[in-house]
């Protein structure tokens, strides 16, 4: 079965996603075997357009005045995905489990953009490990976003180690799927 969805007999969702990803500087990094929903999320995150508190405020929509993960400063996309104390604990746990050098998480200055961190770190990863690394980055950001939404919409709170376990489960499931279905 064809996995395209046709709108108005001319535009397909698949072509739209692929066309938009071509404009993303790290497009090859997004081609790491993750589901399209995760890739699209990362593209939106890289553009700093996800609906974090700072973007909600720009639209004059109601939102929390602080990060719901760490109770810290105003939630921005880079804070939520990287600078937040909760996010750092999750990243550290995932990197340890996956055998990735946690020094990659340490930077002299906290990045102003998530994309900046990613662009600085990827060249430090060996070419044969980049696909794995990029998949870990994508699933970690995706699960941090889902945890944020669980807290806001469902009033359900998980610890950093529980979120890291979800990420590990997602990564393991995806690896099994890729081995099974090529």
DSSP letters for 103-120: GGG--SS--SSHHHHHHH
User: For the stretch 36-67, what's the b/e string if a residue is b when 16 or more beta carbons lie within 10 angstroms of its beta carbon?
Assistant: eebbbbbbebbebebbbbbbeeeeeeebeeeb
pLDDT, mean of residues 81-102 = 93
Q: What is the pLDDT of residue 108?
A: 59
Q: What is the pLDDT of residue 81?
A: 92
Higher confidence at residue 68 or residue 22?
68
Q: What is the pLDDT of residue 90?
A: 98
For residue 120, is pLDDT > 50? yes
The rounded Cα 30 to chain-centroid distance in angstroms is 10
Q: What is the pLDDT of residue 89?
A: 97
For residue 8, is pLDDT > 80? no
Query: Which region among 149-153, 159-163, 176-180 has the lowest average model confidence (pLDDT)?
Result: 176-180
Higher confidence at residue 179 or residue 94?
94
SS3 6: strand
For residue 4, is pLDDT > 50? no
Question: What end-to-end distance do the CA atoms of the chain give, in Å?
Answer: 17
Higher confidence at residue 31 or residue 126?
126
pLDDT, mean of residues 102-127 = 81
For residue 20, is pLDDT > 60? no
Distance CA 167, CA 87 (A): 12
Percentage above 90 pLDDT, the chain: 49
Distance CA 34, CA 70 (A): 28
Note the pTM of the prediction, 2 decimals: 0.80
- Highest mean predicted confidence (pLDDT) among 34-38, 152-156, 178-182: 152-156
Query: Which region among 21-35, 114-128, 145-159 has the lowest average model confidence (pLDDT)?
Result: 21-35
């Amino acid at each position: 079965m064809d996995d395209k969805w046709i709108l108005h007999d001319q535009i397909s969702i698949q072509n739209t996603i692929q066309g938009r990803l071509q404009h993303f500087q790290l497009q090859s990094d997004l081609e790491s075997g993750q589901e399209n929903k995760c890739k699209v999320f990362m593209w939106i995150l890289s553009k700093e357009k996800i609906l974090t508190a700072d973007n909600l405020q720009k639209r004059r929509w109601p939102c929390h005045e602080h990060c719901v993960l760490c109770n810290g400063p105003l939630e921005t996309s880079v804070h939520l995905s990287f600078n937040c104390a909760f996010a750092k604990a999750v990243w550290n746990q995932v990197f340890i489990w996956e055998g990735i050098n946690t020094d990659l998480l340490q930077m002299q200055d906290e990045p102003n953009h998530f994309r900046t961190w990613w662009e600085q770190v990827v060249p430090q990863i060996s070419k044969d490990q980049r696909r794995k690394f990029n998949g870990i980055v994508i699933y970690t950001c995706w699960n941090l976003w889902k945890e944020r939404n669980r807290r806001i919409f469902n009033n359900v709170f998980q610890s950093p180690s529980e979120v890291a376990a979800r990420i590990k489960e997602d990564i393991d499931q995806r690896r099994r799927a890729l081995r099974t279905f090529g």
